[in-house]
Structure formats: C-alpha cells, structure tokens
Homo-oligomer: A and B are copies of this chain.
Amino acid sequence: MEKMVETIEWIEDDAGGHVVMIDQRVLPHQQVFVECRTYEEVADAIQTMVIRGAPAIGVAAAMGVALGVQQGADFDTVCKTLAATRPTAVNLFWGIERMRRLMAGLQGRSSEEILREMIAEAKQVRVEDIALCRAIGTHGAPLVPDGKTVLTHCNAGALATAGYGTALGVIRAAVEAGKKIDVFADETRPFLQGARLTAWELQQDGIPTTLITDNMAGHFLRSGRIGCVVVGADRIAANGDVANKIGTYSVAVLAKENDVPFYVAAPVSTFDLTLESGDQIPIEQRPATEVTHVFGVPVAPENIAVQNPAFDVTPARYVTAIICEHGVARAPYQESLAALASKTSRATV
C-alpha cells in the first residue's frame, strides 16, 4: 500500500530548492513531472490543475510562498498571486496564511535565516498532511461497513493530498483493518479525477475498484450494495455545509434517499468557521473546454453554451458525519466542528 508517485515534493538544489509535482492532467497514461522554480510557476500549476485536491493545494501554496521568498519577490505579491489561483478550496488560503504568520514572526532575522525557516515550514506542511491523513483514516475506518461497497466521488486520495488521502485514507485504513470492502469510483466529469486518479490509485494498492459514470451512482445506491459513501471536501462552513467537487451534492441526496451513510473526510485546515453556511462559499467556474473536449477530442457541437461549476455545496442535513484528524463530528455541526477545530489550536500552540 505504498503510493507509486509523490504528489508534490520540495527538492533541495544549489539555489535552495524547487518544487516537483506529478502532472495530474495526464495521469494515468502518462507520468510527467512538472518542476516549479518560481512562485509564478506554482500558481500556474495550481490554476491549470497540474496539482489539485484541497490539501495538496494547501501544500503547494506553502511551497509556492517559500519559492517566492527564495526569489526575493515582494512577499505580499507572492501571497496574492497564489491566493488568486482558485477560489473554493480554503486550504489554499490556510497554507498561505500559515506562511504569512511565520514570516511575521521572523521580522529582523537575516534573509538566509528567513528563507531557511520558510522552506522548513513548507516541508513541514507536507509532512503533517500525510500524518493528518493517517489520523483521518484511523478515525474513519470504524465507520465503514464490512462486506459492502464504498462509493466515492472525485479523487480525495494520495494525489489530492501529500499522501494517503482523506476519503481514500479512510478506505485504505478500513482495508488495513481487515475489512472486506470494494470501491465504486464515480468517473467525475469533466476532469475525470475518479476515472484517471482514484481508479488508478486504488488499482495500484490492490483494492478492488469498479469504475462507473457519475450518473450511475444513484442506481447503485438504490441497489443496496453500497454500504457508505466517503468523499473529501474543499471547504466546510461552520454549520457543516460542505463544498466539494461538483456532483457531491447529488450523491449526498441519493445516499440519504436510500438510507446510506454519507461521510466527509477532511483535515481541520478545510474548515472555514468564519462562514456561517455553505451559501457563502465561492464556487469556481472552470473553462467550457473541460466539458466540450475530452483530452482534446470534441464531444459536443461547436459554440454550444456551457456551465462548468467546479464545485457544489452539500447542505449539512445530508452529511452523516465529518471525519477529521481529531475525530468524528456529527450534527449539530456548529458545536462539533468548533470543538474539533479548537483541539488543533491547542496542539499547535
């Protein structure tokens, strides 16, 4: 159960270091690595989805800030450029804010010392992310019904994080605990994270996985074979509303309609307790070509209008539980999420 490729790494070099990411746009048929030597290149990689997945974006943002410091670029410009790449996943802003707080504490130090600290912090964000995913797996595994199928949407796996995954971390931990489960992976149009990334990741791990199109999820939820749904999240509001990959809301409604538990697995860095509800979460619109073309092949008439919201919001009433590194939150989320989030604060102080 080792992952085959690293999602993102900081590589030391003569200039200090650079960032290497696996290009998630061309997986699984091509394994191409993208090297970023500037914060602008990291920003571009986030925006064009070379790297995607809320926790992975958080790591990339932290490393991007470190690169900006290494370049000697204006710190505010670095932070603003990275923050402008994608609007929905709050981990992006969390990663930048963490670096900004450190920077504020380093005032008066030498530039060498500042750079050393910033790089160390960015690497630490990555290491912590893997540990958080393991903890999410530990808390989530007991919730997975034995002998049934787990349905997941998009990719909340090793590739969406620094490693191990959130939703797929729960699945991996359930398998490691000896549960006999298999997985149904929604292909997740338009970017096909399920078909290209989740199916591939789980196949590497030898976890029995069946690929379905997104519109089949309801049919199988109705069939009785799905024991639970586990997905990741891009931002979770204080009331437990969850922004996640487009289609998540549909799966959640269909799960509830068929009495199948619907679990969200995400680190506390995905919580945005400043937002009362999911209605306040900005939803990114992606380019139309993601819908009209598949790997460059046109699948629709020319000049057709397209909507391409990359995320949707699942109201908390459809969410059975939210699994984070500190435990499992259930309704009322206003209280349970705040309690779990405060555990972090204490641990990191």
Residue A111, interface by CB 8 Å:
no
Chain A 211-247 near chain B by CB (<8 Å), digits 1 or 0: 1111111111010000000000000000000000011
Whether A210 lies near B299 (C-beta < 8 A) is no
Give A308 to B213 CA distance when docked, in angstroms: 8
Q: How many residues of A contact B (CB 8 A)?
A: 53
List the one stretch of A8-16, A58-66, A82-90, A290-298 in contact with chain B: A290-298
Whether A190 lies near B218 (C-beta < 8 A) is no
Residues of B within 8 A of A308 (CB): 212-213, 216
Residues of B within 8 A of A186 (CB): 215
* Contacting residue for A291 out of B29, B184, B187, B203, CB 8 A: B187
Residues of B within 8 A of A200 (CB): 300-301, 304
Residues of B within 8 A of A254 (CB): 250, 253-254
Whether B211 lies near A306 (C-beta < 8 A) is yes
**Chain B residue nearest to A183 in the complex (CB):** B305
Residues of B within 8 A of A195 (CB): 291-292, 299-300
Residues of B within 8 A of A299 (CB): 187, 192, 195-196, 294-295
Whether A211 lies near B291 (C-beta < 8 A) is yes
Q: A247-B218, A250-B217 are in contact. Are A295 and B292 (CB under 8 A)?
A: no
Give A151 to B307 CA distance when docked, in angstroms: 13
Give A246 to B213 CA distance when docked, in angstroms: 9
Residues of B within 8 A of A246 (CB): 213, 215-216, 219
**Chain B residue nearest to A190 in the complex (CB):** B213
Residue A323, interface by CB 8 Å:
no
A287 CB, min distance to chain B CBs, angstroms: 13
Whether B189 lies near A214 (C-beta < 8 A) is yes
A residues in contact (CB < 8 Å) with B? 28-29, 153, 184, 186-190, 192, 195-196, 199-200, 203, 208-220, 222, 246-247, 249-250, 253-254, 257, 291-292, 294-295, 297-301, 303-309, 312
